[in-house]
Amino acid sequence: MNILDAEFVKGFIRLTDDAFRQGWHERNGGNLSYRIRPEEAAQINENFDGTKPFVEIGARVPQLAGEYFLVTGSGKYFRNVVLAPEDNIAIIEIDGKGENYRIVWGLAHGGRPTSELPSHLMNHEVKKIATNDRHRVILHSHTVNVIALTFILPLEDRVFTRELWEMATECPVVFPDGVGVVHWMVPGGREIAVETSEMMKKYNVAIWAHHGTFCSGTDLDETFGLMHTVEKSAEILVKVLSMGGKRQTIQSGEFRELAKAFNVTLPEKFLK
Ligand code: 13P
Ligand code: ZN
């Protein structure tokens, strides 16, 4: 099968276009990765080029040994993916130790996977284990309103979780575990990858102060939807703060009622 005919590739391309249109991906901002199912790889692997050299990931991900990922390219623009997917995205193969990768398709005119590959792969590894192989997508976006809030709110998981939950009734149902906040760090390396993957052990959302948001999910729709929900909630909060702040809000007892009605567990630490 032609790689561009595979459903997961079409969905990946559609997500990059949708996310660009949301205003989250200026220039080359943000990146996306998808952990390809073995049966999906089998459908297209006749097109793979196994001759490129392996390159260091910059992180160790032994639980991902031998896996294939579809990833955006470093310095590539989300808005161009739909026009020229082969130039802007790539399929990579992880080696048997989980320490190196090689490009087997894509980035046809050169380039390398996103500079946030260590964060993406470490998050994938954590989520693969934590969700028993269910989570397959990591999306990093430069979400305007979430970033704005990191200049105003204390950089604490509890504060961001509670504020975002309060801004839209269904938020606690969409991200019942809450969100984690990573203090400002240099992007693109192992250090920020380690901090973020620690957050991903607890949450599906990690906010990078003054930079953006990471979301993890089972599929492309769910992950895009999670980013969309978090960012919309942040937008409401920005509006509320701009209008002089909350005069009334959802109370802890009401969150407990919501949790019961929607059959989700909300950690008590966020209900104080
Ligand atoms: P890349 O172009 O390398 O993916 O970097 C964009 C970005 O958002 C870094 O955090
Ligand atoms: Zn970024």
Query: pLDDT of 252-267, one tens digit each?
Result: 999 999 999 999 999 9
Ligand nearest to the CA of 30: 1
Distance CA 232, CA 152 (A): 17
- How high is the pLDDT of residue 73? 98
Residue 229 Cα to ligand 2 midpoint, Å, equals 19
Residues assigned a catalytic role: 116
Q: How far is the CA of 140 from the centre of ligand 2 (A)?
A: 7
Per-residue pLDDT of 134-177, as tens digits, reads 999 999 999 999 999 999 999 999 999 999 999 999 999 999 99
Give the separation between CA 197 and CA 120, rounded to whole angstroms: 9
* Predicted TM-score of the model (pTM): 0.98
Angle between helix 7-21 and 220-242 (nearest 10)? 10
Q: Which tokens is 145 given?
A: 């309103």
Q: Indicate which CATH number applies to the domain containing 120.
A: 3.40.225.10
- Domain range spanning residue 221? 3-270
* Cα-to-centroid distance, 82 and ligand 2 (Å): 20
Atom number, ligand 1, closest to the C-alpha of residue 140 = 8
pLDDT of the residue at 63: 98
pLDDT of residue 12: 99
Find the mean pLDDT for residues 116-138.
98
Residues 6+ apart with CB under 8 A from 92: 68, 69, 71, 101, 102, 103, 104, 113
- For ligand 1, atom 1, the nearest C-alpha belongs to 74
- Is 138 exposed, middle or buried, given 0-12, 13-18 or 19+ CB atoms closer than 10 A? buried
* DSSP-derived secondary structure letter, 22: T
Which pLDDT score is estimated for 113? 98
Q: Which ligand ends up closest to the CA of 187?
A: 1
Distance of CA 251 to the CA centre of its chain: 29
pLDDT per residue over 185-236, tens digit each?
Answer: 999 999 999 999 999 999 999 999 999 999 999 999 999 999 999 999 999 9
CA-72 nearest atom, ligand 1: 4
Model confidence pLDDT, tens digit, residues 75-114: 999 999 999 999 999 999 999 999 999 999 999 999 999 9
For CA atoms 6, 11, 12, 16, the dihedral sign is positive
User: Residue 163: what pLDDT?
Assistant: 98
Ligand 1 atom 4 nearest Cα? 114
Mutate to test the pocket of ligand 1, among 26, 28, 140, 213 (most ligand atoms within 8 A of CB): 28
Burial class (CB in 10 A: 0-12, 13-18, 19+), 200: buried
pLDDT per residue as tens digits for the range 191-202: 999 999 999 999
CA 35 from centroid of its chain's CA atoms:
12
CA of 70 to the centre of ligand 2 (A): 18
Integer Rg of the chain from CA:
19
Please tell me the total count of domains within the chain: 1
pLDDT digits (tens, 9 = 90+) for 16-50: 999 999 999 999 999 999 999 999 999 999 999 99
pLDDT at 139: 99
Cβ atoms of 171 and 257 closer than 8 Å: no
Q: What residue spans of the chain are helical by DSSP H? A: 7-21, 38-44, 78-81, 85-88, 117-130, 144-149, 157-167, 171-174, 190-200, 220-242, 252-262
